[in-house]
Structures are given as C-alpha cells and as structure tokens.
Amino acid sequence: MSSVDQQEIENFSKDSARWWDETGPFKPLHKLNPVRLSFIKNEICTALERDANNLKPLKGLDIFDIGCGGGLVCEPLARLGANVTGADADAKATDTAKKHAAQQGLSIDYQNKPAEEIKKTFDVVLALEIIEHVSNPEEFIASLEKLLKPGGLLIMSTLNRSPKSYALGIIAAEYILRWVPRGTHSWKEFIRPSELVKMATAHNLKAKTIRGLVFNPFKNEFALSKTDLDVNYLVSFSKNED
C-alpha cells in the first residue's frame, strides 16, 4: 500500500526547483519555518530530555522528515546535530534538497520514497503539511507509527477543517493574497484536531501537545497559540513503549 496521491505530487512537482526561493510558491512555508522549528525543537528536547540550550541539542538523534520537499526543515535540524533522513515522493523536490544541502556542506540522507518504503526506525518522525495531501490519512498514520522507536516522538502539522480555514486557507491564501497557487489545497481533505488525535490514538500514539499557528498581519509573522486551532495547527505524539 502507498499513501501517495499522484495528482498531488504533480501539483507540487512543477515548482520543485523553487523550494528555496523565499518569494516563490513556497513563501508561506518559509514564513512558517521559524515558529514550527521552535515547536519541534522544544518538543524533542522536552520529550527526549535534551538540553535546549546546548549548541547541538539534537546530536545523535535519528530524525525522519516525510514529505520533506526541498529540505526546509531537514537542514536546520541537521545543524542542531541530528542524523536526518528526508523522504518525498516528488523526485524533483529531493533533487533540489540534495543540491542545496551539498551547497551548505550538510550531510542529509534524502530519498525519493513514500513512508511505507522506509525500512528503519527513528527517534523522531516529522509529517508537516502533508497528511492533507495523502490518499488515506489513517493508513498514513499507521505507517508513521511503524517508523518510530518505542518512546519515540511524532510531530505533525496540518490544516483544520473549519469555516475559518476555508476563508483564510483557501480564499485568502490562494485567491486574494496569492501566497500559494490556486488548487494547492482541498478544504474537504483538511482534518480536525479531534479526528487526527482519534486516528493516532488507534495506532499506539498518545497526544502530548497541540498548538495553533496564527498569522499576525501587522507583524507579518506566525505565532503559536494554545487556544486558536482554527486554521493551522501542530501536534506532538509519543509512541507507547509497551
């Protein structure tokens, strides 16, 4: 079984050479990156008892980023000391990621594979802005759980299926602000936090932290919110050890 939706891959593939263009089609992800990296680092350091003040707090940890795109998250994590593997079903994206990492002098294992074809386990698995693009979300979560070591950490981010997410995630982002190409998202594929937690719980995962990602137009930046999960949100899960 593969969770890959080929039409979704084709939608993104046409822009894959521009992953590192901060003003291009992936501009929203560049804007999201600082705050989601902060969440990821804090969750890992808390769950796996790492010193967040250390220059290399993730040293020695095996981290897997599925749907890694051009490596926007993989590279910072590698700089923090992690052994990073990134995988994406879009071969053009992983080619872009490999070239950029080489230019930065970073050693990252990029693979053009779906999650179901990865054969090792990791301390941390990341699935950021991807579950809304797969063909079967529950099977996708099941495949992620298998990639985690006992006691490991899964961190996911996606879009809530709410009236507000339709207004901001579709109408505003695609048609008014034109942050992303039209048709990038399908609102009916968005997943409510309660639905995501229910699916994960059924596959030996326990929700730890849920935070909303809220855009401040006056500061032109995203911030974490404990209460506003209406549009984008992040969730961390731990894998049960028994």
According to the model, what pLDDT value does residue 175 have? 43
The answer to whether position 195 is within a domain reads yes
* CATH at residue 217: 3.40.50.150
Quick check: 177 pLDDT over 60? no
pLDDT tens for each residue of 54-70? 999 999 999 999 999 99
Quick check: 172 pLDDT over 70? no
153-178 mean pLDDT: 70
Residue entry with tokens 């137009």: 217
The answer to whether position 166 is within a domain reads no
Total domains present in the chain: 1
Whole-number Å distance between alpha carbons of 5 and 182 = 18
The answer to whether position 216 is within a domain reads yes
Whole-number Å distance between alpha carbons of 99 and 82 = 19
Whole-number Å distance between alpha carbons of 178 and 172 = 7
Q: Residue 155 contacts by C-beta under 8 Å, 6 or more apart in sequence?
A: 39, 40, 43, 44, 124, 125, 126, 127, 128, 234, 235, 236, 237
Whole-number Å distance between alpha carbons of 64 and 16 = 20
Which of these ranges, 86-95, 128-137, 206-215, has the smallest mean pLDDT? 128-137
The whole domain housing 134 covers 6-159+191-239
Strand-pairing partners, residue 127, are 66, 156
Q: SS3 sequence, 128-166?
A: ECCHHHCCCHHHHHHHHHHHEEEEEEEEEEEECCCHHHH
Whole-number Å distance between alpha carbons of 140 and 163 = 25
Quick check: 9 pLDDT over 60? no
The answer to whether position 186 is within a domain reads no
Which two structure tokens, joined as six digits, stand for 161?
A: 């299926």
Q: SS3 sequence, 211-238?
A: EEEEEECCCCEEEEECCCCCCEEEEEEE
Positive or negative, the Cα torsion across 8, 14, 15, 19? positive
The answer to whether position 176 is within a domain reads no
Quick check: 52 pLDDT over 90? yes
Quick check: 171 pLDDT over 60? no
The answer to whether position 29 is within a domain reads yes
Give Dmax (Cα) for the chain. 49
What dihedral do alpha carbons 215, 198, 112, 63 form, nearest 10°?
80
The answer to whether position 182 is within a domain reads no
- Where residue 166 falls among pLDDT bands split at 50, 70, 90? low
| Cα angle for residues 74, 147, 3 (degrees, 5° grid) | 85
Which two structure tokens, joined as six digits, stand for 220?
A: 């032109």
The answer to whether position 183 is within a domain reads no
Which of these ranges, 129-133, 144-148, 166-170, 198-202, has the smallest mean pLDDT? 166-170
Q: What percent of the chain has pLDDT over 90?
A: 65
- The burial of 22, by beta-carbon neighbours within 10 Å (0-12 exposed, 13-18 middle, 19 or more buried), is given as exposed
Full-model pTM: 0.89
Quick check: 178 pLDDT over 90? no
